[in-house]
Every structure is written in structure tokens, then in C-alpha cells.
Amino acid sequence: MRAIYLEEPGEIVEKEIDRPEIDSDQLLVEIKSVGVCGSDVEYYRSGRIGEFVVEEPLILGHESAGVVAEVGEEVEGFRRGDRVALEPGVPCRKCKYCKSGRYNLCPDVDFMATPPSDGAFVEYYAHPADFAFKLPGSVSLEEGALAEPLSVGIHACSRAEVGLGDRVAILGSGPIGLATLQAALARGASSVTVTDVIPFRLEMARKLGAERAVNAEKESLEEGSFSKVIQTAGTAGTYRQAMEIVERGGKVVQVGHPHSDEVAIDPNLPITREFDLLGSFRYVNTYADAVAMMAAGKVQFEPTISKRFSLGEVEQALRYSSENPDECIKAMVNL
């Protein structure tokens, strides 16, 4: 079968490899749609994200959906031809984090396209059945692939306890920010303000339901004016700003990783305003909710797909995503 490898930073190579054999608890999935994530772009560009370093050829891609081609002998509830979204992080299921229900914190998680685990830019992928989720007829395979970024948004909103009447600010309107916007609205937020510096993304935020879409280079947000603030931009400035604009007793959730080892903040803010400062890492128990939200029409992802590519065009998809921020939200690879 065909597989697309990151041979080294800036070099993508197509190879022919064996079709995987499945274990008794796995599905063999014929991959149909894979979203290009910012992490894929960063691995392609620099070969590393924080402590995760590409030291040997790696298959990228972790936002995926496809069709079941084979079913393991111990698997129940699936059959050939089922359309499924694949949750990319498979934990050990044995550690204290897994047993307490916080498997996203498992130190031994096997996560697609994170060294040393290969990802989904392949024709077939073997995956545990309990981390595959059936797609109803109303949900496309492309939408199924995007259950992954939606899951990030759902988990961030869960950490923030977004609910009825909340005034929410989301800093950053890239794919994760826009997914978080839709998740917040679905949870009953009374208003959502989104910031960015790219007008195209701000316009998309308005189309998806943001009450305000603020260009951060031209306008400031009022201090202490939001009950919940979720930072998805991944800059030192937004990391700090999130703590400045939350109200007393509110919640700040940090999702985006600042591209800096140090962030200067006012250490008095968390004390005198007594807000909760929380991290949000990937997601846990969100995929079923993500698929249900899509099926119910509570979220829209079709408008965020900016351009489509074939499996042989993975490198073009990666380059398009990184080189066209003024027109690209999500590149999609379809097999």
C-alpha cells in the first residue's frame, strides 16, 4: 500500500509498504480523509514539537476517518463498510490516569503522527476498535476527520465549565479556535468574542456565530470582562492576555502552546482576582460527543475546509497550510 513519509524536515517521500495485519481487538480501516493539522506542518518544517523529535522517517496525519475493511475476531459492533472516525491517541488503559478517566494524561499514550508512532497518510490503518466511532449518514468522512479538532474545543470548554450565560473570549481563530467557538455556543454560552490578526479568519468566526470578532492588532479587549477565557493562539502575548481579561473568580484555559520558553505575567493577577488557571491537553471522552454534535447540526466544518488534496499531494497540502494563512483554515487530504 502507499504511505507518505516525512523523511527529514522539509522532505516528503512516498513509499510502498505492507498492508498492516490487525490484532483481534482492532479494525483495519481504509483511510478516506485526513485533515492537515498545525502539528503536521511544524514537524514538516522543523522536525520537532517541544520534546517530541522526529529521529527517523515518520508518517504524519492524525485527523482521520475512513471505511472499515476488516474486523478483528474479538470486535463486536462493527462490520465491513462502516464509516468511522479514528480517535488518534490510544492510552495504555492501565495507569492511574487511565483508570481515573483522564487517559489523555497517560504517559504511554500511542498517538498518531507523534514520534515514534506513525499516522494516517496511508491507504490502510490498523486501529483499536474501542477508539473508532461510527459516523451516521448525515456526517461526511471529511467531517469525521475533523472530530479531532472539535474534540480539542469540546475538552477546552469542559475544562472551562462553559455553560448558560457565560461570556466567553477565545484568543485565536485558527482551526482550534473556531472549533472551540462552536463548542462554546453549543454548550450555551450567551456570547463569544474571538480574536485574531488575520481578517479572513475573523470573518469565518463571524459566520460561525461569534458575537464579536476582534482584530488584536487594532483593538484591545476590556480587562476583567469575560467569565471564561480560552487561549488557542499559542503566543506569549495571548497567554498573558488571557489572564488580564478574565473577570474575578472566572476561569482561564490555556490550550495553545506559546512558542517561547518563558512568558512574562503579572503574578498578582491570579491571587487578587482568584481566577482558576487551567491547562487543556488534547481531549478525553469527547469523540462520541463530537460526532453527535455534527449529526445534530450544532457545528459546521464544511466552510472551514479551504482546499482539498490527494494522497500524492501531501507535501503540497503541508506547504499550502503554512504558506497561505490569509486564505487557509483547514487543508484536507482525500484518498
In the chain, % of residues over pLDDT 90: 95
Separation CA 195–CA 210 (nearest Å):
10
Q: Would you state the pLDDT for residue 264? A: 86
Q: Would you state the pLDDT for residue 50? A: 78
Query: CB within 8 A of 27, min separation 6: which ones?
Result: 68, 70, 71, 72, 75, 78, 84, 126, 127, 128, 129, 132
Would you say residue 135 has pLDDT above 90? Answer: yes
Q: Would you state the pLDDT for residue 229? A: 98
Residue 262: pLDDT band (50, 70, 90) is confident
Residue 260: pLDDT band (50, 70, 90) is confident
Q: What is the mean pLDDT of residues 222-241?
A: 95
Q: Would you state the pLDDT for residue 106? A: 98
Q: Is 11 left (phi over 0), alpha (psi -120 to 50) or beta?
A: beta
Residue 118: pLDDT band (50, 70, 90) is very high
Q: Would you state the pLDDT for residue 258? A: 84
Q: Would you state the pLDDT for residue 61? A: 98
Largest alpha-carbon pair distance within the chain? Answer: 60
pTM: 0.96
Residue 19: pLDDT band (50, 70, 90) is very high
Residue 156: pLDDT band (50, 70, 90) is very high
User: How far from 293 is each of 150, 204, 288, 289, CA to CA, in Å?
Assistant: 9, 19, 9, 6
The answer to whether 29 and 135 have CB atoms below 8 angstroms apart is no
Structural domains for the chain: 2-146+301-334 (3.90.180.10), 152-279 (3.40.50.720)
Separation CA 237–CA 230 (nearest Å):
13
Would you say residue 321 has pLDDT above 80? Answer: yes
Residue 263: pLDDT band (50, 70, 90) is confident
Residue 154, C-alpha cell as written in the block: 469540546
